[in-house]
Amino acid sequence: MTRPYVFITRKLNEELFAPLMEIADVKMWDSDSEPVPREMLMKEAQKATALLTMLSDKVDEELLKSAPNLKVVANLAVGYDNIDVKVASERGVTVCNTPDVLTETTADLTFALMLATARRITEAQEFVKEGRWQSWSPFLLAGVDVHHKSIGIVGMGKIGQAVARRARGFGMEILYHNRNRHLEAEQELGAAYRNFEQLLEESDFVVCLTPLTDATRHLFDYDAFKRMKKSAFFINVGRGQVVDEEALIAALNHNEIAGAGLDVFYEEPIASDHPLHHFPQVVAIPHIGSASVETRTTMIKLCRDNIVAVLQGNKAKTIV
């Protein structure tokens, strides 16, 4: 019997894949930083029984239809907007993601980004490194307080709740907007539900954690930014296309909002001369929400275990 063939779209630590290598032939794309070219991914998919993919790989209808042996796609992310799940399930392909294991790490990053944006941390670091620090002065790089302000969380999933727990420790008023009300979060975290417009109008920090779907694409348009307080900050650790980026740039230009902390962008990677970099009040980081060594290692192991389970005829642990 031929062994299953698994293609992994980044170079990852081979040692982590020992249990998979016992039951399958495993090939990895040979770069840990560059995505696998589309043609190569298409070619590998044609023979693959399993794919371990990154959020930058498009697993669309074209790819799925040209992969006759494919049984499982394990995506190294909680988000799976890069995968056509409908076509995959029609074709009997199991799609797995990595929920739960990245919740606290991503919440840490969200909070760090909010603090960095409000307290101008990256600007301050550049100021020191460029040798511009001449003397202490009262309002030198003065930002705004985070503690005891209001935070409006859009997308009260597990990460949203973990951010709310952190916000509670900062004495913040917690508002949230979600497709469905989350009574547990309301009781346990003292979070108050608002409709989208109310949340925008009342929050000092609007934190976007909602997944990208047809319903959320461009949810944050110019109108949304205009509704926010002029003193408010927009923080996005969800997906870039939930935001109309042109509208965000216009809102920043017109001082409709005070600043933005962005981990995700419309197109990734963002160009080094992107207009968003021209705003000192924007902190832009390269989609590192879940990027701690511990969490990324756990995510890789979860993908591996999901693939092993499916190849052995068992149910994967975290099916989309």
What residues make contact with ligand DGY under the rule CB under 6 A? 55, 77-79, 102, 287, 289-290
Min separation Cβ 161 and ligand DGY, Å: 16
* Active-site residue (options: 147, 268, 277, 278): 268
Distances, alpha carbon 291 to alpha carbons 107, 297, 300, in Å: 11, 9, 12
Looking at the Cβ atoms of 77 and 189, the one nearer to ligand DGY is 77
Looking at the Cβ atoms of 105 and 150, the one nearer to ligand DGY is 105
**Residue 239 designated active-site:** yes
Give CA–CA dist 253/131, Å, rounded.
Answer: 28
Distances, alpha carbon 253 to alpha carbons 201, 229, 262, 265, in Å: 19, 15, 16, 18
Min separation Cβ 79 and ligand DGY, Å: 3
Looking at the Cβ atoms of 71 and 287, the one nearer to ligand DGY is 287
Give CA–CA dist 201/127, Å, rounded.
Answer: 33
Closest among 242, 247, 239 to 219, alpha carbons compared: 242
Whether residue 27 contacts residue 8, with contact meaning beta carbons closer than 8 Å, is answered with yes
Closest among 97, 216, 238, 240 to 160, alpha carbons compared: 238
Min separation Cβ 181 and ligand DGY, Å: 24
**Residue 287 designated active-site:** yes
Looking at the Cβ atoms of 55 and 309, the one nearer to ligand DGY is 55
Give CA–CA dist 63/38, Å, rounded.
Answer: 9
* Active-site residue (options: 10, 182, 287, 304): 287
Looking at the Cβ atoms of 120 and 287, the one nearer to ligand DGY is 287
Q: Which two tokens stand for residue 183?
A: 């009574």
**Residue 227 designated active-site:** no
Min separation Cβ 211 and ligand DGY, Å: 8
Min separation Cβ 262 and ligand DGY, Å: 13
Q: Which helix (H) or strand (E) holds 253?
A: helix 245-253
Distances, alpha carbon 77 to alpha carbons 21, 74, 175, 318, in Å: 22, 9, 26, 11
* Active-site residue (options: 120, 182, 239, 296): 239
Min separation Cβ 287 and ligand DGY, Å: 6
Give CA–CA dist 90/73, Å, rounded.
Answer: 14
Looking at the Cβ atoms of 77 and 115, the one nearer to ligand DGY is 77
Secondary structure letter of residue 35 according to DSSP: P
Q: Sheet harboring 192-193: ordered strands across? A: 192-193, 173-177, 150-154, 205-208, 233-236, 259-262, 282-284
**Catalytically annotated residues:** 239, 268, 287
